[in-house]
A and B are shown apart, each in its own frame.
Chain A
């Protein structure tokens, strides 16, 4: 009589709802930017914690709702029609039963909270360090409004690499990210690899990431940092060790001199305009230090920190009118003559 059977449709509705939620969650797998599709030990820890929380708290939620429904749907007891006095007390055995139920629920709640606390702390400790640190690698990531400066640290100065907005990492090696900021607080977040880590001006914060399988992962600034916070993304490309080393050796080289007259003209356009005050191209006199290094620009997937795919058309739009693509960004709007533009684009897109 107090049963859910009295509402036959209810079970079916609940079943469909649970199935729908599960279906949505399966959509999270295989994504380039997803905290529940972990690609390494730290994010695996975090995803494990997330699922544990989800199932435990869902169970509690279901139990609470079921109890509420039972209380709502049960047939009222036939109460003796007597006036309830302020001194009215339930019978002795009811009182004892209620005390036991409330005490039990309180103890269970405290115990569950304690379990959640311990698992959270365990996860936090688990992601703060990685095993096999001795074969690790350090990458310095500096947040800027609104792009990422990336520097591969190395004891050998000739193997220090500076690039931007794209990080290549070898699979299976722990990577320490040393985070800094040049202006305001940013937050480095590659959901598939680890949690967020704030990049704070005049401080260094660290985080370990590791990819267990090759893949392309998207990261995003996770701390509001001004007008173009939403357009401050970066790509992490995890690749096998050999492939990574080949990439690194290629990136360490200076830009090849332009091969044909058109690209030579393009290089001259680049060097004659304001580009050189902010951007550097190793192998030329362009040595600006306040904007992304363009030495191997054409090898990168995107322009303007993940805003647009790196194509010659997008680059043309970006150079001619950066403020319509990313209003407020620090790229100067410069005047380029129409007969200079195409050589300039061809030159920049030849910087593989």
Chain B
């Protein structure tokens, strides 16, 4: 009896071996880029139209969040947004978003660009990379599970409170 119990516990440990599946061969689709990922306003002429919601395929994935972190530097997002604290561009660690902070809003912002400086990235970088960057930006705000978020940023951040909150994984 005791042996069986021990065996069960031992087998349960293996469930931790495959925490997540890495998508190493993402398809270079551009479907969402040409669609409207997010709706800016609920007001529409001619009655309510059904809207297809877009979800981030890389939510909750530690690998894709870290890939997003790499791309954030590689594509020089950090040139304007610094490491989330903002500079030339607005900060990315915040609760109030001008164009919405949901994944589909962030996707749209990256794809279409925004007035006063945000360039248009759609059709230039692959869609899956945009979703990885979205996942990373969400993780800056504690909106990804703590198990998938990097435990400690490599960069110096201005506000220790932010780091503390991120460490606790509290959504803001």
Contacts and interface: CB of A to CB of B under 8 A. Distances in A.
B27 A333 contact: yes
Interface in A128-172: none
A290 interface: yes
B18 interface: no
Contacts of B70: 330
B28 A335 contact: yes
A64 to B, nearest CB: 44
Given A323-B26, A324-B25, A277 B124 contact: yes
B29 interface: yes
A237 interface: no
A49 interface: no
Contact of A333 (B22, B28, B74, B124): B28
A69 interface: no
A321 interface: yes
B125 interface: yes
B30 A335 contact: yes
B66 to A, nearest CB: 11
Interface residues of A, number: 16
Nearest to B33: A335
Contacts of A335: 28-30, 126
A327 B26 CA distance: 11
A290 B74 contact: yes
Given A332-B126, A332-B129, A335-B30, A321 B25 contact: yes
A334 interface: yes
By secondary structure, the B interface counts as: loop
Contact of B25 (A277, A323, A332): A323
Interface in B125-142: 125-126, 128-129
Contacts of B29: 335
A273 B124 CA distance: 5
A230 interface: no
Most chain-B Cβ atoms within 10 A of its Cβ — which of A273, A278, A333? A333
Contacts of B24: 323, 327-328
A273 B75 CA distance: 13
Count class of interface residues, chain B = 10 to 19
A332 B127 CA distance: 10
Contacts of B129: 332
Given A323-B24, A327-B25, A277 B75 contact: yes
A57 B22 CA distance: 48
A277 B26 contact: no
A262 interface: no
Contacts of A323: 24-26
A274 interface: yes
A275 to B, nearest CB: 10
Contact of B125 (A274, A290, A324): A274
A278 B28 contact: no
Contact of B28 (A328, A330, A334): A334
Interface in B76-122: none
B107 to A, nearest CB: 16
A334 B126 contact: yes
A333 B125 CA distance: 9
A334 B33 CA distance: 13
B136 to A, nearest CB: 15
Given A290-B74, A330-B70, A335-B30, A274 B126 contact: yes
Contact of A277 (B22, B28, B30, B125): B125
A303 B109 CA distance: 35
Interface string A248-283: 000000000000000000000000111001100000
Contacts of A330: 70
B110 to A, nearest CB: 13
A276 to B, nearest CB: 9
B30 A332 contact: no
Contacts of B74: 277-278, 290
17 contacts: A277-B75, A278-B74, A321-B25, A323-B26, A324-B25, A327-B24, A327-B25, A328-B24, A330-B70, A332-B28, A332-B126, A332-B129, A333-B26, A333-B126, A334-B28, A335-B28, A335-B30
Enumerate the 7 nearest inter-chain pairs by beta-carbon distance, A residue then B residue, closest first.
A335-B28, A323-B25, A327-B24, A333-B28, A274-B125, A290-B74, A332-B126
Given A274-B125, A333-B26, A335-B126, 8 more contacts: A277-B124, A327-B24, A328-B24, A332-B125, A333-B27, A333-B28, A333-B126, A335-B29
